[in-house]
Amino acid sequence: MGPSTKHHAEIIGRSTLFWLLLTHFALIAPLADKSTPWTLAISAICLVWRVGIFYGRVARPPRLLVTGLGIASAVTLALVGKQIGFLNALMNLLILGYSLKTIEILGKRDVRTVILVGYFLIAINLIDNQGIGAMALALALFWLNTQSLLTLYRDPGGKRDALAIKLVLQSLPLAILLFLVLPRLPPLWMVPSLKSSITGLGNEVGFGDISKLTQSDALAFRARFDGQVPANPELYWRALVMEDYDGSHWRQHSGIKRLEREAFLLGSGRAAPADEPPQTTNRPRKAPLSYEVIAEPSGQRWLFGLDVAYSDTPGVVNLPDYRLFALRPLDGRFQYRARAFDARMDSRLPDSVKRLNLSLPDGINPRTRDLVSQLKAESDSPQDFIQRLMTRFRTEAYFYTLSPPPVGTAQIDDFLFDNKQGFCVHYATALTFMARAAGIPARLVSGYQGGELNPGAGYVSVYQYMAHAWSEVWFEGQGWVRVDPTAMIAPSRILDGFDATFNPDESYLAENLFSGHRLKEIPWLNNLRLQLASIDYYWSVWVLGFDNERREGLLNRLLGGLKPARLILFVLGISGVILLFVAWQAGILRLPSRQPPLLMAFARIEKSLTSIGLPREISEGPGDYAARVGAVIPLLAADLIRWAQQFCHLRYSSDKPSPRALQRFVKESRVLARRIRKQGKISAASPD
């Protein structure tokens, strides 16, 4: 190959440059939330420069400038890598490398390099989100990147086809086969932390913390029950138990934090609740309630369960405080099964735990302590004391609001006696404080309350704005009992859900202009929203939740037993079918095509004549062939000549033959073929 030929081979077509420009924007835009401001700025500069190159306004940047930007980017990422996380730093480095490489493309080799890196960027989109929406986006990006690659090898004047789409569709059967056969392995990307800011509950709760979550309509988790979905007041999803109180914030106790750090040593944790008398004697014991939860990525390890919750899903630990805990952070969707038991929590309370849940800082909230002394003197029992507190919240002028006025250092005094306005944390903190001051062990629990039922799919969606806090108090002979003062202040919040109490436009929709929840007011759009959510849910259940147990069960049903020989034959058989289909699509394998009825009728006559020793010469047309055969078989001469004339008319006439004429000709040809074969038998039986 000469120099001029080689130079021509390296020329990048304008079509390729256009597709590269489009792909560059499409790949970087979905990764904006994973990019640092520095990364986004450089990527934007490279994109604008690429546009200038495409329109011939600017030349390629000097190599020294590109090298300098690359070194500066690497140094910057090294400095902030600890804050954003190791994996995020590597992602940003790949994004920067891709963007910088696009502005120094010289030949087709550089284009192939950029496109190869593009495939890695597509995979990054699926690291922390494998939902059906993310998968659809990845497929679209894969098609776009592949289209850019194909333009390198397509003749500019040739026919434009959908080859990229064909390649994607041809690869799907093999991908499905590998999905069914290969065992599920844990993703390698879950090892380093993404250090991404995911909204959700924290292990520390102050007066205003949970109210911040009401500004988010992000999905927290979804749950499907084996039987009837419980009513909204029964959906208290426990996530965290707070026992340490310093006068302003509730925190987890150091002992439970240590257990969380050492959770991998606990196995499954506490045993499932055993049969025991119900908490009260005036109602029958309820059967365990079974349900399945799909938790969204949160970066945390706590899970959500109805009390008393127990799970035997691998990777889930049942902690002593009756919570569910994951062995690894939820960097992706996590699916687990659990049961809710009608059982007591800690019928007996150790002295150390009792002291912990009675402790209060000295010298704070004196007015609240005086009120406790007064109510305690009027109460006959701990249960009566708690009931008096609940009655006070119900009868006095307390208000439930997302924007309570600020409080001073004596938080509970200011709230109970001056402001009388607060959110769930305010009321739960006040009740827990007063219970402890009265000598009743108490603790604060945070989680979620309620859920949105999807009637078509039958599951419950729980969003961040449904975050809630309540109290648990310990009674002799009853154990820990849930007490929620919110039910006294704003009963609609518990009975009917968050939307029944607060205006969504003033809470979780205030800063979410494009939220799907804005469609709730329009019935048909809300129904569409729920149907799309159902599709995503089933994708999570059957695809993301397709673990080794489900894989083995499906293969057992398909193959009648999971034996190596059967599995190998199954894989080879399906792979063979896929290869044959691809070969046929690529033109390597051709199946015999069915002839038109007219030609099939001609072939029938020709075959019949050949069978009696009168084959057609390659140079003979229909008329000449019929005349020669007619001379040999005079009885059929007129019929053969008329048949040949009809064939030529139907075959070569400028007017398209009618279906009736074709049908008549085919029928006559069938009759003539039988006469020819019959005549051949007569001739063979006659003596010379």
Return the active site residues: 424, 468, 484
Collect all residues with Cβ–Cβ distance below 8 Å to 514 and sequence separation of at least 6.
Answer: none
Residue 275: how many CB atoms within 10 A of its CB?
Answer: 7
Write the CA distances from 504 to 237, 392, 492, 662, integer angstroms: 22, 29, 15, 70
CB distance 2 to 97 below 8 Å: no
Please give the Cα distance from 196 to 642 (Å, whole number): 85
Chain-centre distance for alpha carbon 241: 30
CB distance 507 to 414 below 8 Å: no
Q: Which two tokens stand for residue 499?
A: 């939307």
DSSP state of 171: H
Between β-strands 399-400 and 421-422, what pairing exists: parallel, antiparallel or unpaired? parallel
Write the CA distances from 272 to 15, 172, 268, 347, 571, integer angstroms: 64, 43, 10, 15, 41
Q: Which two tokens stand for residue 199?
A: 């909204």
382-395 vs 366-378: helix axis angle to the nearest 10? 120
CB distance 206 to 425 below 8 Å: yes
Position of tokens 């419950």? Answer: 460
Could you tell me which of 245, 262, 244, 264 has the C-alpha nearest to residue 254? 244
Could you tell me which of 283, 285, 290 has the C-alpha nearest to residue 275? 285
Q: Which two tokens stand for residue 582?
A: 């691809």
CB distance 201 to 467 below 8 Å: yes
Please give the Cα distance from 553 to 562 (Å, whole number): 9
Indicate the residue type of 154.
R
> Cα angle vertex 300, ends 90, 214, to 5°?
110
Is residue 471 helix, strand or coil? strand
Between β-strands 459-463 and 289-295, what pairing exists: parallel, antiparallel or unpaired? unpaired
Could you tell me which of 404, 413, 405 has the C-alpha nearest to residue 372? 413
Write the CA distances from 57 to 50, 107, 551, 584, integer angstroms: 10, 19, 56, 47
Could you tell me which of 485, 480, 331, 312 has the C-alpha nearest to residue 393? 485
CB distance 608 to 643 below 8 Å: no
Between β-strands 452-454 and 289-295, what pairing exists: parallel, antiparallel or unpaired? unpaired
Collect all residues with Cβ–Cβ distance below 8 Å to 319 and sequence separation of at least 6.
Answer: 256, 259, 260, 263, 266, 269, 270, 325
DSSP labels for 35-63? S-HHHHHHHHHHHHHHHHHHTTSS-PPPH
Position of tokens 């309509």? Answer: 217
DSSP labels for 480-492? EEEE-THHHH-HH
Handedness of CA 639, 642, 647, 650 (dihedral sign): negative
Please give the Cα distance from 471 to 474 (Å, whole number): 10
